Amino acid sequence: MAVTPQTLRAIETPTAQLIDSINPATGEVSARIEATPATALPDYFKRAREAQVSWKDWQARDRCRSLRSLRDAMFEGRDEIIEVVTREAGKPRVEAIFAELMLALDTAEFLSRRAPGWLRPQRVPHHNVAMKAKSGRLTFEPHGIVAIISPWNYPFSIPMGQAMAAVAGGNAVLLKPSELTPATGALVGDLFQRAKFPLNLVQVIQGGGDIGAALIEAGPDKVVFTGSVATGQRIAEVCARKLIPTVLELGGKDAMIVLSDADLDVASSAAVWGGFTNCGQACLSVERIYVQQNVAQKFVDLCVAKTKKLRLGPASDPDAEIGPMIRLRQVEKVEEQLREAVSRGATVLTGGKRREDLGANFLEPAVVTNVNHSMQLMRDETFGPVIAIQPFSTVDEAVALANDSPFGLSASVWTRDSRRGREIAARLRAGSVMVNDVGSYYGICEAPHGGSGASGWGRTHSRFGLLEMVQVKYTDVDRLPRTPKAWWYGYTKDLADSAERLVEGMFAGSWRRRLSSIAEKNGARGVIFRRDRI
Ligand code: NAD
């Protein structure tokens, strides 16, 4: 067992509970992290509030400038980040570099450049002539303390990206990483310190669901949760009771629609990568593939041939393309879905078998056909290395199948006709749709990420993710401070008549009617607001 600073701290505190950081490829415990006792939460909140009070008064551009120091700290610490993530989450090194390190670095770069502009006060021009004499401004104020509760599948880039947006918005962060990836969570907090962010602005709370629940009960000002539907529902219930605003990034069951004019060689490579990256343990995993009947056999053959070539192995093997699943219970869940599908008539063309020669958590990636929507495999999130392929005849049928899901996270459409691709994308119920690619929008900082239905609500990434971290405040300054307003007390018949004529003058169907109602009506003068007022 490696001795880490956390281990030492825990050993110095003999009563401390320890969380094991386990390598899913080998089952070895590589670090022990001190769990946060619920009794310590008030101190965490107190420190966070103190840190946030001065942080919120920093200019947004200065807060965002600090993100460049964070970017530099991540760049300097890149080997350590890759090492900890691959060891604790089991993912191949290439995936740790692209989807964890690079994404976090790029988010720091993106927010440091763009966020100051989006957080700058904005003038609000009024379209209504009656309101022209008022000057409106929007300002963007922090919520206060943002609780970020994150999963194990992207244990670095998810909490790091969300924490960066939260601090850019002027908040303090209490981060509760997954109990399966505590060392990576600790590293996220540590990097903020290395980048010289104010002490306690980003604190890490370690432990399982119980401390996560206690964190929410303690009343943060906003909760950003990424994880399963079941936990999301529990969190939403508590937050509804306490009126805490939330972002919920939950599961997915992403559909891929392959039309007969698609480049089948490219589409099949995308299906295999999109279904198996991170061993299928991605919210954006391609799980359901609908392929047009007349090319279905060719597409399936290509997917099977490509899947058989994939190399399984631990992250320590630089050529490994498919790592282990995070835990054995995850393997068992996938096996159960496969068993149920087969019992209903599905065919597993390749994969689905354990590779115990490599380790208990290794499962061969599987391609499954003869599937339908009565099967769990097509309804529930699989979150493992399985792609299930179902043929369709018409585009209407494909759209109906893709939309026949409680989830609405993302989807893809494959066709050489990009206009047709866009048209189909518009009909899909998903937070994002890619035409001729899968999942890569997640690496585009400008692209919002989030879903609807069982996939949750709210957005992360992009300007919309940043705006989740602030309260929008409207301030109005009247340019005629010595003029009482026409709609104040002192109500009379004249005032009501004038108000009616104003409505007609503003909204009548033709300009002639508008002008005549303002000018004169039934011999009476037009809009008059002069009167005795209270
Ligand atoms: P999970 O729901 O089991 O755990 C997520 C986090 O919630 C962990 O930190 C856990 O300790 C904590 N938690 C558990 N119970 C809690 C409670 N009652 N109150 C507060 N916190 C609690 O999910 P997981 O297994 O870690 O992650 C996998 C899931 O995450 C999948 O469903 C996947 O689709 C989803 N996910 C979604 C996105 C997205 O952006 N939509 C991204 C990654 C993962």
Written as tens digits, the pLDDT of the chain (534 aa) is: 444 445 445 444 556 799 999 999 999 999 999 999 999 999 999 999 999 999 999 999 999 999 999 999 999 999 999 999 999 999 999 999 999 999 999 999 999 999 999 999 999 999 998 899 999 999 999 999 999 999 999 999 999 999 999 999 999 999 999 999 999 999 999 999 999 999 999 999 999 999 999 999 999 999 999 999 999 999 999 999 999 999 999 999 999 999 999 999 999 999 999 999 999 999 999 999 999 999 999 999 999 999 999 999 999 999 999 999 999 999 999 999 999 999 999 999 999 999 999 999 999 999 999 999 999 999 999 999 999 999 999 999 999 999 999 999 999 999 999 999 999 999 999 999 999 999 999 999 999 999 999 999 999 999 999 999 999 999 999 999 999 998 999 999 988 988 999 899 999 999 999 888 877 655 555 565 655 666
Strands of the sheet containing 246-249, edge to edge, are 202-204, 172-176, 145-149, 222-226, 246-249, 456-457
Is 249 among the catalytic positions?
A: yes
Residue 153 Cβ inside 6 Å of ligand 1? The answer reads: yes
pLDDT for 16 equals 75
486: left (phi over 0), alpha (psi -120 to 50) or beta: alpha
3-state secondary structure of 289: strand
What are the respective helix, strand and coil percentages of the chain, to the nearest 5?
45, 20, 35
How far, in Å, is the centroid of ligand 1 from the Cα of 526? 63
Position of tokens 């037009």?
A: 526
pLDDT for 516 equals 86
- Separation in Å, CA 74 to CA 80, 97, 157, 261, 501: 9, 12, 11, 43, 64
- The catalytic residue among 95, 249, 364, 381 is 249
**CB within 8 A of 338, min separation 6: which ones?**
346, 348, 352, 366, 368, 377, 386
Of 174, 178, 235, 239, which is best to mutate to test ligand 1, by the most ligand atoms within 8 angstroms of its C-beta?
178
Residue 179 Cβ inside 6 Å of ligand 1? The answer reads: yes
For residue 129, the 8-state DSSP code is G
Strands of the sheet containing 410-414, edge to edge, are 347-350, 366-369, 386-392, 286-292, 254-258, 410-414, 432-435
How far, in Å, is the centroid of ligand 1 from the Cα of 227? 2
For ligand 1, atom 19, which residue shows the shortest CA distance? 213
The pair of three-digit structure tokens given for residue 66, joined into one six-digit string: 């600090």
How far, in Å, is the centroid of ligand 1 from the Cα of 351? 27
For residue 49, the 8-state DSSP code is H
For ligand 1, atom 36, which residue shows the shortest CA distance? 227
Q: How far is Cα 363 from Cα 369, in angstroms, rounded to an integer?
A: 18
Q: How many CA atoms lie less than 13 Å away from 166 in the CB half-sphere?
A: 32
3-state secondary structure of 502: helix
Q: How far is Cα 183 from Cα 177, in angstroms, rounded to an integer?
A: 9
pLDDT for 154 equals 98
Residue 231 Cβ inside 6 Å of ligand 1? The answer reads: yes
For ligand 1, atom 23, which residue shows the shortest CA distance? 227
For ligand 1, atom 31, which residue shows the shortest CA distance? 228
How far, in Å, is the centroid of ligand 1 from the Cα of 61? 32
Q: Which amino acid belongs to residue 166?
A: A
Of 91, 152, 153, 224, which is best to mutate to test ligand 1, by the most ligand atoms within 8 angstroms of its C-beta?
153
How far, in Å, is the centroid of ligand 1 from the Cα of 533? 60
Q: How far is Cα 75 from Cα 67, in angstroms, rounded to an integer?
A: 12
Task: Say how many C-beta atoms besides its own lie within 10 A of residue 504's C-beta.
Answer: 17
Model pTM score: 0.95
Is 283 among the catalytic positions?
A: yes
* Three-class secondary structure assignment of 449-497: ECCEECCEECCECHHHHHHCCEEEEEEEEECCCCCCCCCCCCCCHHHHH
Residue 234 Cβ inside 6 Å of ligand 1? The answer reads: yes
How far, in Å, is the centroid of ligand 1 from the Cα of 251? 9
Q: Which atom of ligand 1 is nearest to the CA of 215?
A: 20
**CB within 8 A of 462, min separation 6: which ones?**
445, 446, 447, 448, 449
Q: How far is Cα 200 from Cα 44, in angstroms, rounded to an integer?
A: 8
Asked if residues 160 and 195 have their Cβ atoms less than 8 Å apart, the reply is no
Asked if residues 194 and 81 have their Cβ atoms less than 8 Å apart, the reply is no
491: left (phi over 0), alpha (psi -120 to 50) or beta: beta
Residue 381 Cβ inside 6 Å of ligand 1? The answer reads: yes
User: Which sign does the torsion angle of CA 68, 71, 73, 75 carry?
Assistant: negative
Of 188, 248, 283, which is best to mutate to test ligand 1, by the most ligand atoms within 8 angstroms of its C-beta?
283
The pair of three-digit structure tokens given for residue 490, joined into one six-digit string: 């002192």
Residue 383 Cβ inside 6 Å of ligand 1? The answer reads: yes
How far, in Å, is the centroid of ligand 1 from the Cα of 226? 5
3-state secondary structure of 258: strand
